[in-house]
Structure 1
């Protein structure tokens, strides 16, 4: 079974590090889906996953992302930010992947099942806000995940410049977590990929064509060779670049070697050695002074509150809530979560401020108490009873 292992103290560990990491979750099937995309498309998709909510009226999966938040997460200070977003929605070149043309293929050869899914059905950038509507078919791949999923670091992903690096990071992280969950092996991990299958996984080869057909066409005189047909070019432009970026920017440390076979020692596969490494960020020392929030930081937290509270609320009330929490997103989210389980509240702003100041906790559901009391040393470890709200905390300070 694919998944991640979460110990009893995971929630506390994530809470302690909420200022250092941003997370998003994907099903392993979606991570291993084949398709072609750009680095910016992949980053926007990861950001959209964190911001996405299901509209109860029509079931649409909608992510509303203020431009300020995008700039902050992506580390963009360019005045031409609109042009970057426009180029993603409406590429200037037919060869450039569009956010709307991005299609993934979910397949299972054993059961002879293949499914093509357009990831984004609608995208707009109006008044400095990006709205992305995701395909409804992705609901089971992104929401209510209990097993066969992986938690990924958006903080790591936004540092990667190559789309191939991002794709490999997600694949490797899911495989490493799978091994940890099933074998308790802390690494290193050996993973071997057929060269053609690896290229197809990365979107270099057409993901809609079976690998066997690709190999047949390659032997024909009219086959149009892929842009990295020569292994030396694939190694230099894809593997070496991914190795440099992953090893410097993520928790995945990667080494690789080519596997050769046949006459002339042609490369037919690539064997990867993967090791977990410490996060690149340093945890602040106990008692260290809190970082001073910039005006942009405070505005981003206010944007977050506006998105979490249903109905209309004045900016004055939003500011009062944020100030009561010292703009601590974790305290704000905890209070809002408690309000959702409390029932009718006449004065929501006053209630939230009081909850933040007095440390109100959301009442625990009886089913949760029963599940915890009946947990034993077998079902407590590999099974996830984790509250996904703990993964929804934004990073206050984006590392360059």
Structure 2
């Protein structure tokens, strides 16, 4: 199952592992796994008040998700879950797995302690989780290998970045369109490999270095060197609580939510629904993901900004738009650029984040003050950027 081809967003993967932790050897397709929605909200990173609706979205999606599992002489095509049932007033969701999935999940569970399952649930990137499982499997099966090599095209499929089309078989089926996420290798390297490497180094019992194997100028394969990390907390006698899944001594948000809110039009910044949506999405998908969808919503939302932003964050409307913006910037004539560019603002954001993280890690008030000064500079440049672009919009309307 580790090598199966599937694409699950992080929230759905967390739900799957939560259910997996409850699977028992004698379970059947009729076994019901009861999950308290309020408790799962901690792993989703959403306010408990909105957890019920968020959970409904996740279960609605995962019961239609297709997975293909290959083994010698055998191919299983199935869905993850058979159904999810909500009973009013209980605060619970009752989940039933597809019968074909139970033996795979039971076998997978036997390789992870409850504490390591908590570690998996703490990952903020779905690619961190997938790559961890893949490298862990390879290392456990062949611990003396110096490297584990994957063709890039196959690695993309296994990680759910390259998604094959699945046609509709009947009127009840949900077809799946072919998709290529992060089709440019530099984007794949930054958003998948480097993100996973950083997160595993901070939280997991293994991490990795990697080499790019090229055919000419093209990266054809990735060669991973996997090494263990001793983490005593993974062998505690009591399961970890959700509050213990972040690094000790570091705040979980590092003021990122406040920074993201600065991108939101002023008329909507104080809305609780907007803030809650941004907080949840930042914890699940990361800063850059949320930022591009805020900017996309700013450019496209005409009515009900909060609802439009929620939809953009759920489906990643801003992904293709961001690529188009980048390509347009490359081909645009360099004459008469704005005094402040979006790249300038992005660079400032990255500097602020880096200083905040260093300040937290080193306990340095001086570094934090530098970050505060940059935040003031960012606010000024943001006003200049907004004013310049407002002038352009007025000219276009005229």
Task: Work out whether 1:256 is the aligned partner of 2:256.
Answer: no
Separation in 2 of the partners of 1:232 and 1:72?
Answer: 33
Q: State yes or no: 1:115 paired with 2:90.
A: no
TM-fit CA distance, 1:88: 1.0
Deviation readout 1:340-395 (Å, 9 max, x if unpaired): xxxxxxxxxxxxxxxxxxxxxxxxxxxxxxxxxxxxxxxxxxxxxxxxxxxxx744
CA distance change for structure 1 residues 278 and 63 in 2, over 3 Å: closer, same or farther? Answer: same
TM-score by length of 2: 0.52
How far does residue 396 in structure 1 lie from its aligned partner after superposition? 5.2
- Alpha carbons 1:105, 1:207 under 8 Å: kept: no
1:128-147 alignment to 2 at 5 Å? Answer: 128-143=91-106, 145=107
Partner Cα separation in structure 2 for residue 102 and residue 225 of structure 1? 15
Paired position in structure 2 for 1:36 = 7
- 1:273 — aligned with what? 225
Question: Where does residue 79 of structure 1 map in the other structure?
Answer: 49
Cα distance, 1:239 vs structure 2: 0.9
Residue 134 of structure 1, CA deviation: 0.3
Question: CA 1:54–1:176 in 2, change beyond 3 Å: closer, same or farther?
Answer: closer
Q: Is residue 2:196 matched to residue 1:196?
A: no
Count the aligned residue pairs.
231
Give 1:156's match in structure 2, choosing from 119, 122, 132: 119
CA 1:394–1:67: 2 relative to 1, 3 Å = farther
Supply the distance in 2 between the matched residues of 1:83 and 1:59 (Cα, whole angstroms).
26
1:1-400 maps to which residues of 2 (within 5 A)?
A: 30-53=1-24, 59-72=29-42, 77-90=47-60, 98-108=61-71, 111=73, 113-126=74-87, 127-143=90-106, 145=107, 150-151=111-112, 153-180=116-143, 185=144, 189-207=146-164, 226-262=180-216, 265-279=217-231, 281=233, 394-395=239-240, 398-399=243-244, 400=246
Distance verdict in 2 for CA 1:76–1:34, change over 3 Å: same
Aligned to 2:291: none
Q: How far 1:118 moved relative to its partner?
A: 0.4
- Per the TM alignment, residue 129 of structure 1 is displaced from its structure 2 partner at its CA by 0.8
SS at match of 2:63: coil
Could you list the structure 1 runs, at least 4 aligned residues long, displaced by more than 6 angstroms after superposition.
Answer: none
Structure 1, gaps ≥5 residues long: 1-29, 91-97, 210-222, 285-329, 331-392
Change (3 A) 1:74 1:282: same
Question: Matches of 1:242 and 1:125 in 2, distance apart?
Answer: 34
Deviation (angstroms), 1:79:
2.8
Contact 2:21–2:117, Cα closer than 8 Å, also in 1: no
Contact 2:205-2:230 within 8 A present in 1 as well: yes
Does the aligned pair in 2 maintain the 1:165–1:241 contact within 8 Å? yes
Distance 1:224 1:129 in 2: 35
Distance 1:132 1:224, change over 3 A: closer
Query: What is the CA distance between 1:397 and its match in structure 2?
Result: 6.9
Contact 1:120 1:134 in 2 (8 A): yes
**C-alpha distance in 1 between matches for 2:41 and 2:128:** 21
Gaps of 5+ in 2: 167-176, 247-398
CA deviation digits over 1:135-165, x for unaligned, max 9? 111232233x4x9963261221122111111
Aligned-partner Cα distance in 1 for 2:232–2:96: 33
Question: Using the alignment, how far apart are the partners of 2:109 and 2:56 within structure 1?
Answer: 35
| Superposition deviation, residue 87 in structure 1 | 2.1
What is the TM-score with the length of structure 1 in the denominator? 0.51
Q: RCO greater where, 1 or 2, for CA within 8 Å and sep 6 or more?
A: 1
RMSD: 3.1
Shift of 1:128: 1.2
Contact 1:53 1:63 in 2 (8 A): no
**How far off is 1:271 after superposition?**
1.0
Alpha-carbon deviation of 1:199? 0.6
Shift of 1:207: 4.7
